[in-house]
């Protein structure tokens, strides 16, 4: 390379750096903190992300605080009053647990209403609400005698038994925008 080519290349690099500095608002000499446009740029790019994280954390915390109280009282998974293996599945005790699980699902839906990034929590909460309605409509908490009705109670009861952990997982996945 000759001097003229080197000078053109150096000029091109300098121009590119200047253009980048102008576009981002960063000034190498003064540093990004002292440039008003850099502060504006940083504020514009950082605030939506930090606001989203704060929102997700708020939702997660609110949902989990309710879940913890109800999960301790009614159990979850295989230890739930509504577990298909539980002798309490066809009792009013599971009916009360079903109502609490549905209320927590409704609460979660209220918390995420109009917000993006909670697809899993929304899906889980809607499924739980539907299961609670089905459990109630079938009369599962009244120890139905008909075998077909008892069999139909198994699916909604299983969803309700897993409701608290699934809501918690949905809230946690909200952090990942899922």
Q: Is 70 helix (H, G, I), strand (E, B) or coil?
A: helix
Q: How far apart are CA 37 and CA 85, in angstroms?
A: 63
| Closest of 99, 102, 79, 106 to residue 141, by C-alpha | 99
| 4's tokens | 């003229």
DSSP label of 77: G
Helix, strand and coil percent figures for the chain, each rounded to 5: 75, 0, 25
User: pLDDT tens, position by position, for the chain (178 residues)?
Assistant: 544 443 334 444 343 333 333 433 444 444 444 444 444 444 444 555 566 677 778 888 888 888 889 999 999 999 999 999 999 999 999 999 999 999 999 999 999 898 877 899 999 999 999 999 999 999 999 999 999 999 999 999 999 999 999 999 998 887 777 7
């Amino acid at each position: 390379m000759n001097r003229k080519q080197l000078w053109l290349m150096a000029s091109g690099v300098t121009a590119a750096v200047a253009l980048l500095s102008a576009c981002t608002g960063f000034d190498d000499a003064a540093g990004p903190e002292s440039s008003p446009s850099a502060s504006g740029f940083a504020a514009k790019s950082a605030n939506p992300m930090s606001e989203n994280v704060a929102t997700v954390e708020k939702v997660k915390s609110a949902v989990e605080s309710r879940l913890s109280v109800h999960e301790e009282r009614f159990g979850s998974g295989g230890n739930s009053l509504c577990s298909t293996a539980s002798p309490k599945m066809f009792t009013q005790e599971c009916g009360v647990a079903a109502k609490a699980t549905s209320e927590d699902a409704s609460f979660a839906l209220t918390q995420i209403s109009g917000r993006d990034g909670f697809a899993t929590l929304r899906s889980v909460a809607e499924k739980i609400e539907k299961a609670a309605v089905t459990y109630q409509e079938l009369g599962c908490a009244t120890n139905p005698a008909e075998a077909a009705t008892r069999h139909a109670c198994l699916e909604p009861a299983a969803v309700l038994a897993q409701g608290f952990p699934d809501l918690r997982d949905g809230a946690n996945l909200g952090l990942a925008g899922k």
